[in-house]
Amino acid sequence: MSGAAEDGVRVVRDGGGEAYDAPGHHDVVGRALHAPALGGPPGFRVAHSTFLPGARVDPSANPGHTVYVVLDGAIELGVGESTWTLERGDSVHLPPGTVRTVRNDGDRPAVVLVVAETPREDA
């Protein structure tokens, strides 16, 4: 559940937000928590992504600065020839245009908080 309060304050309760399917994301359950399209802050969005076991994200470039914070489980992040295992409590910053892959090779879901700069037309 979410609700707006005075002065533009918007509270999103656990499990709230708006479900979305991101292109090239397979077995990833996404929930937009705060974004310009939801009446949220201009210039960035905050999402909650659950990577089910076997989930993967096809190689793609992020349009703006993006930060992933792993809240639970683990993901494999690939950029160029490098691969990192990010586990609970780990985070990463991806500059604009970074081509990356993400996958969950584990046997339990991985939960990631995503904070991403939005394109100017969405801001």
pLDDT single digits (tens) 70-102 = 999 999 999 999 999 999 999 999 999 999 999
| Residue 21 to residue 27: CA distance in whole angstroms | 10
Helix, strand, or coil here: 121?
A: helix
Q: What is the pTM of this model?
A: 0.90
| pLDDT of amino acid 123 | 45
| Residue 123 to residue 52: CA distance in whole angstroms | 30
Phi and psi at residue 66, to the nearest 5°: -135, 140
Q: Which CATH class for the 19-122 domain?
A: mainly beta
- Tens digit of each residue's pLDDT (9 = 90 or more) over 25-56: 999 999 999 999 888 889 999 999 999 999 99
Position 1 confidence tier, pLDDT thresholds 50, 70, 90: very low
**CB half-sphere exposure, 4, CA atoms < 13 A:** 8
pLDDT at 120 over 70: no
- Residue found under tokens 């020839």: 81
